[in-house]
Amino acid sequence: MAFADPVLPLPLPSPEDPPRLTARTLGGLERVLAAELEAIGGHDLTVGRRTVEFSGSTETLYRAVLECRTAIRVLEPLGRFAVTSEDALYHAIASIDWGGQLARGNTLRIDAVVHDTFLNHSLYAAQLVKDAIVDQLREQGGWRPDVQLRGATHRFALHLAGQTATLFRDCSGRSLHQRGWRPSTGEAPLSEVLAAGILTIAGWPAASSPEADFPLALVDPMSGSGTFVIEAAQAAAGIAPGLPRARRGDHGFLRFRDCDRDLFRRIMTELEARVRQPACVLQGSDLDPGMQGVAEANARRAGVADWVTFSTQAFDRVTPPADSGLVVTNPPYGERLPTAREGVIFRRLADWLFARFGGWQAAVLAPDTPAAKQFGLKPRLRLPLKNGPIDCRLLVADIRRRERPATEAAPAGPLDAVPPPGNALRSSRTVDDQIGDFRRRLAKRFRHLAKWARRQGIEAFRIYDRDIPEIPLAIDWYAGWLHAAEYDRPHDRTEIEHDVWLSQILEAANAELGVPPAQAFLKMRRRQRHGGQYEKFDERGATLTVHEGELAFEVNLSDYLDTGLFLDHRTTRKLVAEEAKSRRFLNLFCYTGSFSVAAAAAGASETVSVDLSNTYLDWTRRNLHLNRSDDHSRHRTFRSEARKFLADWRGPQFELAVVDPPTFSRSAKSPLPWDVQEDHAVLLGELAARIVPGGVVYFSNNSRRFRLYDDLLAEHYVIREITKRTLPEDFRNQRIHRCWRLVRHES
């Protein structure tokens, strides 16, 4: 079957052509559906884009609903009419005997598609059809059916193309992809119809006869809610896809007034007799610990729980359960992937398949992006498909067996034991050694810090701070979510090897701490010379609220290099709060306003927050709102460059201030670049004129090479460095920042 050949739209119908049965599917699966229809008795098939027209008996129609795994809807025509106007369409629909279609108390739904015709709005076309039906029943029977968008008794479909209107009744009811076994889903669940089509294209038989030649095994190493495994199990067990819903009477044709109940019962008896125990191994696994329970529950509802197994593990720890079979999977990509390195997963997947699954076949649904080019196996088929709104390609490959020297045993342990070509890490220690040490360190630190944080009422804290030199990450815990930042450090890996290594390390952190992959984010932290830490580089908007004692803060783990809350200033915020009561407080370079929140909650008489970014000023206002500091006359925000703000300020002097600037900043919003080393003395000198005698300024920055110009500042302040006092317990890095307490001279 030539799956990859393009499928063209059907030509516009002629009013003289008799309408035929129509089955709809997803783009790219048309020929799979055509083969299924032919197998159940459909003939004279015409394949169009997402549509197959066919002829057949009532039995063929019922079987199409019950047995076609790749059909979304099956439509039976009620009539085809020549129409040139709205009135003509209305009268054509009114010519059908609706008393023979609908019973008193029935509800209805009309779906319409219009193309190249006198109407350009499908909703209006559906309204005309509804009016014609309702008016007839009201005139003849004195009642009218209600329109119901969800769960209607009957659904009808209008296809209006050119001057031809075709009206169908929907034999499916709800979409046929809703098999009835998935009330709960994981993140981004794969459509059952798409999964069934991919399985068929990859060589998993869709035929329900006992003689079907199924592979020895099927493995989905990133199974999520179990769609591929369950669809494959139902096919291998001879369970027709529409059988569970048919047992509950949940198909559209069963509500037709002319439904042939005897024929339906005969077909059901035959379908029930086909169910058998599969002879193949079916297994799925996922890194997300929550998905195993979801998949097992779905398998129970689908009636295949006794024949499938699900586990929680990283995909490259899975070993083949047979000498040959099919690996089929839908790896995370786009918004499902918690790291920007999308290509890593495909590189790792190809390496794992090559190392472990020689003699098998693989079918991988990949995004149609450069990331998929990292999939190193040469596919024998690349088929364009859509996964919801995402353009994808199905990559089907035969995995050749590795030729091993006679002295080399087949790998049985982790993938790192026998690295595939191009992925051999040159460190003296294996990745497994590193991961083992890393997990043990994480577990030890988390046990200690979680108890400490609970006592303090802290929900966000650092759990790993470059503890192991080989793994230069900083990992922060945010109320059950992880935020990891890698610090640039020389290593002997290639770029793709390093990305693969990072992916494995983050997976290990997820597994050790029980965090779902979608709740873990990885950033690369390098020296910034252009304000890059404040630039947006993602759009996922992973925001949540975390608490620090009585304070609440909004954090965003996905969209910026920093999250909106500097955890290393937790102690400094407490120091500010201790001095803020009844004082006028100024926060320069306020970022998201955490110091302003601390001061306001402690009873500051006024807070003024200054930043160049509207984004961060909005964030500051949200944080103030979270902490019930909504009085805008007392808690004000100003969009301004810090030095300009001080030069322009004509209000009363402040009694307490915080200055926590970036190391470097260059913004189109300001003609003045900022360099903390070169500019801090001038700024703090200008600030002195805005501080009352005896007033306090907390000045901090995280430049490792910073030197305070205390000789220039001594004429304004009494200066004391308090860095050690401000370093929180959860930070091993004693150089995370430096902090000074400056007291304005009394005269």
Residue 317 lies in a domain: yes
Residue 672 lies in a domain: yes
Residue 421 lies in a domain: no
Shared-domain flag, residues 516 and 410: no
**Is the per-residue pLDDT at 209 higher than 70?**
no
CATH number assigned to the domain comprising residue 439:
3.30.750.80
**Is the per-residue pLDDT at 538 higher than 80?**
no
Residue 292 lies in a domain: yes
**Is the per-residue pLDDT at 105 higher than 80?**
yes
d(CA 484, CA 682): 35
Whole-number pLDDT of residue 572: 97
Shared-domain flag, residues 262 and 314: no
Shared-domain flag, residues 138 and 264: yes
* 76: amino acid identity, one letter: E
d(CA 626, CA 692): 30
Shared-domain flag, residues 293 and 435: no
Shared-domain flag, residues 267 and 279: no
Whole-number pLDDT of residue 425: 37
**Is the per-residue pLDDT at 665 higher than 70?**
yes
Mean pLDDT for the stretch of residues 539-561: 91
Q: Which structural domain, as residue segments, surrounds residue 700?
A: 561-744
pLDDT category at 405 given cuts 50, 70, 90 is: low
CATH number assigned to the domain comprising residue 201:
3.40.50.150
Concatenate the DSSP letters of all residues of 253-283 into one string: GGG-TT--HHHHHHHHHHHHHH-----SEEE
Shared-domain flag, residues 122 and 222: no
Residue 249 lies in a domain: yes
Rounded to 10 deg, the angle between the 291-302 and 227-236 helix axes is 30
Domain stop point among 416, 441, 474 = 416
Shared-domain flag, residues 43 and 76: yes
Whole-number pLDDT of residue 1: 63
Q: Are strands 674-675 and 664-665 parallel, antiparallel or unpaired?
A: antiparallel
The count of domains in the chain is 4
Residue 533 lies in a domain: no
Least confident interval from 11-20, 172-181, 241-250: 11-20
Shared-domain flag, residues 267 and 346: no
Buried b (16+ CB within 10 A) or exposed e, 374-384: bbbbebeeebe
Whole-number pLDDT of residue 339: 46
Shared-domain flag, residues 385 and 444: no
Residue 426 lies in a domain: no
Least confident interval from 88-97, 249-258, 446-455, 664-673: 664-673
Domain stop point among 385, 416, 447 = 416
Shared-domain flag, residues 255 and 281: no
CATH number assigned to the domain comprising residue 47:
3.30.2130.30
459-493 per-position pLDDT tens digit = 999 999 999 988 999 999 999 999 999 887 777 77
Residue 640 lies in a domain: yes
Shared-domain flag, residues 596 and 461: no
Domain stop point among 387, 416, 445 = 416
pLDDT category at 536 given cuts 50, 70, 90 is: low
d(CA 675, CA 27): 55
Shared-domain flag, residues 34 and 164: yes
